[in-house]
Structure formats: C-alpha cells, structure tokens
Copies of this chain bind each other. A is one copy, B any other.
Amino acid sequence: MTEYDAVVIGAGLLGLSTAYYIKKMKPKKRVLVVDKMGAAGQGNTAKSAAMFRSFFYSRTNLALVDTTIECFKHVQKDLGIDLKLKWVGYLWLFSNEDYRWAEPVLKVMAERGLKHKVYDAHELSEKLKLRTHVTKDEDSKLMGLVDVDVGILIPKAGSIDIDSIVNFYESEFKRLGGEIRYNTKVESILVEPREPLGIPGEPYFWQDSTASGVKTNRGAIKAKKTIVAAGAWTAALLDPVGVDAHIKPKKRQLFSVRAETNALKELLWVKGFNPEGCMPFTILPKPRVYLKPALEENAFWFSYGDEFPRAFKLEDEPQPEENYYQYGIYQVAIKYFPQFAGSQPFTSWAGQYAMNTLDGQPVIFEENDLLVVGGASGSGNMKADAIGRIAASLYAGEEYAVLYGDKKFKVSDLSITQRRVEPEKLII
C-alpha cells in the first residue's frame, strides 16, 4: 500500500489551504486530501456568509485575519484571480449603553491604526431610513430591543466569493503535485504501534501507538501524518481515539430576502458608505441580527448567531428553521428597518460552525502524528490563509510560521497545551 507523507481530512477552505502550504513548504512530500463530497468546498465552507473584516481587538485574531485579507487582495490584484472582493464595510450599531464598553476598546484599536468612522442616530436614520428609537413601542420593549444611538463603520471589511478562493488553493495545490480524492468518506483514524510486533489485536497499551492514516469507505489510506481539517466533524473523528480538540458543531442559518420593493432597493443601493455604493454589512443592536448586501442576487442575507440554548449537535444536513426567521429574525429586523415589512426569504440554508469552546480562536496542534486544524468558530474563511500557513509550519516542524507579508507567528500559540491567544473584546 502507498504510504503518503500526509493525508488531510477535508477539502474545505482550511483543509485545502493547509494542504497547499504543506506542499509549498515541502514540495517532495506526497500529500493527499480526502473529502466525502464530490468537489472542493462543498461542505460547510459553501454555507458561509462569506464576509471578512480586518478589525479585531485580539492581536491574535487580527494577525490571522489581516494577513489573510492582504493575501486575498494580492491574489486578486497581482495574480489576476477574481475573488469578487467587495469592500462594503461593516456597520455596527449600538445603543448608548452598549457603546459605553465598546468605545474605549475602539479607541485602543484606533491607536493601533485600525480605522473606523462614527455615525450618530440622526445620520443613520437619514441615510438608511433606519428606525433608531425603537423603544417607543411596547412590542420592542417586551422583546428586549434597544435603541440605535451610534453606528461604527469599519471600512477594511467586505465580502468574498468563497468558491473562488477555494478553487485557488485547490488548483495551486494540484499544480504543485498534490493529490485529492473526492467521494471518499473517512470513517475513522487508523492507529498502529510505532514498532509492530505482528501480534493479532495490536496495538496493546504497553506499545507506543500513533495515528497512521485513515479508514475510508474506499479502503485504508496510510500516512505518516494525519491532518484533521474536518470542521464540524472534528470531534466525531477525534473522540474515537480519545483526543479533545475542544471543537463542537453548532448550527447557523441564513435567510435570503430579495430587494423587491423600491424601499428595499434604495436600502440595498444606498450611497456614501463604501466604494460599492451599497449598504454595508449591518449588525443590529443586541440581539445582534445581521444583514449582508448580497449584490449579485439583489438580496439581503439575514442571520443571527444564537448561543444558549442552541445545541452542540452534529448534523449531516442541517436545516434552516422557518420559525427562526418568522418569529426571530423578521420580528427584530422590521423594528429597525420597516422596509422589510412583509418580506419573506426566497431561499434559506443552514451550515455548521466548528466552535472552539476555549476562546473561539482557531486550534492547531499535533499529538501522536495527528494534526488538528480547526475551531475557527465562524471566522475560518477570513483566517484561512494564515491558518493554512501555521498548520503547514507545524507539519514542517517550524517554531514560527511566516504569514503573508512576512509576519511571524509562533505556531504553538494556537495549540492547546501551550496556548497563548489574546482574548477578543470585540464580539460582533
């Protein structure tokens, strides 16, 4: 049987980015990516809201995001690959009360060179026809909604076409000689003794054992290193070998509402916020329902990342819940944007975040020849380039990864045992 140098489980964005950078750092290594789907990026990668922002308080988060975005810019501008980057910006709405804790954090970030622009309620109301004083009505108060008093526009933020960046990593990986097998579902991780004795039932516990590849629906694949980049499926693969990556799956839902009325078209194509001449990605006050301008389909994508009591639950085909829009998102949205009154989604879908329950930042570590890459908790796309480089540096045994723009990053900072991440103060 062929033994690969590395087998990567998962042809999502993180798996492909990791595979590509391994191949780039170690061109002679035989690297195989396996995925149960028929093509790249067809799992939860495809379900993403596909937004990015280079705007985090945590310098760990910022390093991962900013180098990734700069790399994406470079791919589009210098390599001529259209990633459909749209710099629509993030517009983040606050009540005075919430802004009180955000303001000092934003001030520190401004000192670090992370720009934002402040709007008052009046400007927002004028430009967006936004109802800022929602607590005038009893319903809003019962729902616990709060007024919009301040808006923050983050310009270094926008949307990307996920398929294009997935295809970029996939084709570059293949160009370097990387191999991919689709329609190949990993059933389990193989474990073998480092020094086999040929006794039936090996490995026994007095033997030193290690991961040695994967068992798939198409047979076993042996590899010196087994790299788990399986997103929401991480724990399902690691539990059977007793490794906890502190990654749990959580459903996230998106609802797409067409800009059918004049009022909604005006909102979608509002001028003055960004070079696209459209509404920015907008985050309402707590509960933080958000809406994205989906320009290609003349629509808004609505979502909300609910926490307690949303289950950690692995699902092959998670479904959007009609009531989640009807009694959840819609009820909140029309209080602020009456333009949406009567609007129904024309399509909706659900995916699964791979939540890292330690701190929400990515997890990259190795034990027993098993490398784990994941737990980006919904921001994997905007960190994909950096994560791939760090995982590849771990594979290559480097202490530091070199991120895009020659920024150094200590590989063990994203491990579990020597983890050193700066906490994020700015949770959108």
> Which B residues lie within 8 Å of A145 (CB)?
206
**Which of these, B142, B206, B243, contacts A287 with CB under 8 Å?**
B206
* Nearest Cβ on chain B to A202's Cβ, whole angstroms: 9
Stoichiometry (number of copies) = 2
Tell yes or no: A204 within 8 A of B by CB: yes
A310 within 8 A of B: yes
Interfacial chain B residues near A164, Cβ < 8 Å? none
Q: A239-B312, A240-B311, A327-B199 are in contact. Are A306 and B205 (CB under 8 A)?
A: yes
- B308 and A367 form a contact (CB under 8 A): yes
A308 touches B241 (CB 8 A): yes
Please give the number of chain A residues whose Cβ is less than 8 angstroms from any Cβ of chain B in the complex.
45
Q: A309 near B239 (CB under 8 angstroms)?
A: no
Please give, as numbers and ranges, the residues of chain B lying within 8 Å of A328 by CB-CB distance. 204-206
Q: Is the CB of B209 within 8 A of A309?
A: yes
When chains A and B are docked, how far (Å) is the Cα of A61 from the Cα of B250?
34
Neighbouring B residues of A312 by C-beta, 8 Å: 239-240, 242, 244
Q: Which of A230-269 contact B (CB under 8 A)?
A: 239-244, 246, 248, 250
A420 CB, min distance to chain B CBs, angstroms: 16
Query: For the complex, what is the distance from the CA of A304 to the CA of B204, rounded to whole Å?
Result: 12
Tell me whether A323 is interfacial, beta carbon within 8 Å.
yes
Q: List 21 A-B contacts (CB under 8 A).
A: A143-B206, A144-B208, A199-B327, A204-B331, A205-B287, A205-B304, A205-B324, A206-B287, A209-B308, A211-B309, A239-B248, A241-B309, A241-B311, A242-B308, A242-B310, A242-B311, A243-B308, A244-B246, A244-B248, A244-B312, A308-B367
